[in-house]
Structure 1
Amino acid sequence: MEFSWRKTDDNEEKVRYFLQQHGISGRLFKQVTGQGKILINNQLAASTGVRVHPGDQITIQLPPEKSDQRLTVSTQPIQVIYADNNWLVVNKPTGLASIPGPTNQTDTLLNRILGWLQQQNSPDTVPHVVTRLDRFTSGLVLLARHRFAHSLIARQLMDHSLDKRYYAIVAGHLTAKHGFLTQPIGRQGEAIRRQVMANGKAAKTEYWQVSKLATATLVKVKLYTGRTHQIRVHFTAQGHPLLGDQLYGGPLDQGIQRQALHAYELNFYDPFTQQVMHFTCPMPSDMQALLK
């Protein structure tokens, strides 16, 4: 694998600082220096202290990534809405798990992506799921096409600069048109169900009312943290579980049998092109039907 950047500013600096500014630091920097090579204008850099100048091309070379031979290829359909050499953005349907687990090893989002890559004549690509969704949550999922991209995007996950937005339909009517939910979230033992608890992990959810239905409310939601079931837990704690959410006591008689939750918007900074990437996808038909 080979990746290149052009130095566009007017400052001279050590190549290690240039790479740090492009997200290559810590463990990833050790990976580059230990397993790979750094080239400046196609010449091997003698050390990471070599200085780079305006207009220089800086290239890193890494050994190819080994695929997981245990993963099964699925030929079931998947909607890929964006693809380049580093990223895939897909619209995950409800009912499809993001990655293989104990009860399903053969037909998950990851298995279907492997099938799609084979159809695109890219069987050696090793995809990594970046933004995982619950099985019955629909919408946008970001995947990295190789481990280097996955490592670079990890910083945005840690500092919460990767922007994920959702539509949710919650039971009842909210009093505030806009608000933040910040109760910590945890779980008791090995229970699947999460809950608000004093010794839980910090969580932050922002929401905006979009419209009121007869017995429910459509909201837009932004996540600042990525706790398991975060949106579902926070609204349940407010007395407004999501429609169709059986695990958290949501109403099951409103015309939907899964949590009414859809990831409709995704924004992230692409460290390769140095541009902000923006994606949206429409609300699925089962949630649209609730609004009518």
Structure 2
Amino acid sequence: MTDAPESDAAEPDAPETDALEPDTRLADFEQHRRTVFGIAYRMLGSVADAEDLVQDTWLRWSRVTGPVASPGGYLARTVTNLALNRLDSAAVRRESYVGPWLPEPLVAAPDSTEDVERAETVSIALLVVLESLSPLERAVFVLKEAFGFSYQEIAEALDRTEAACRQVGSRARAHVRARRPRYDAPPELRRRATDQFLAASVGGDLNRMLELLAPDVTAWSDGGGVIRAALRPVTGADNVARFLLGVLRQLGETAQVRPVLVNGQPGLLVTVDGAVDSVSVLDFIEGPDGEPLISAVHAVRNPHKLSHLA
């Protein structure tokens, strides 16, 4: 069954009445640009593809020849349907992808006060879970949970009934909840645990690393067949700690590791001779003493996924 609408649904019908002033069209688009990018990025997990869809959405919006009651709704509908159409080709590429696939990371300075595209709904771990949803489930989940659209608005955007969208949304939430247990550790605890893990890793302190890792921790490494990376997830605290220490040793003395925000969560950026080598983000569970333990490490090394950070 194909969830995505046909390609001609990507451009909502626009009224052809009095022409809108170009400056007005641009102002309306810029007002909603972050939302347009946010929908595309959550749907595709790719910064480059999301930027492409932002441009495609603008081209369609710039051709609107009359007033639109809700520019935000129109733009959300347009980019969602464009993303649904793009997902078909993305699925084909994923089938032949070498090793684990991870989303392209959004990186900010560790002291950034900017809302990184609503961090809780754009975390790397959540985007990985969204990959297991059908395109329609992903669209409904993103529009509802990340951007707060009503089911009536979602139904209009996707040309479905409101009842059908409610059913899809309920199914998607249950799927995400089962695969993404929430742990609401305060940001300062996450940051402190990340800083401690960074210090232990750079210092080669295996014992301290083991104290910070959950016993069943899993590390995913995305090299895409372009650069060396583990082709399968590494599991277990001892295996993960030794694997990460081995990677740092291989990178050599010119490697530098510094804390950053990755999709709104504390993470690590590794450079070698000044060039970005990898971006990692840590996921946490609550430990026996209430302190966070690292339950997952997601490391993106594929240079094609890091080119936007240069």
Q: TM-score, normalised by structure 1?
A: 0.26
More strand as a share of residues: 1
Higher relative contact order (CA 8 A, sep 6+): 2
More helix as a share of residues: 2
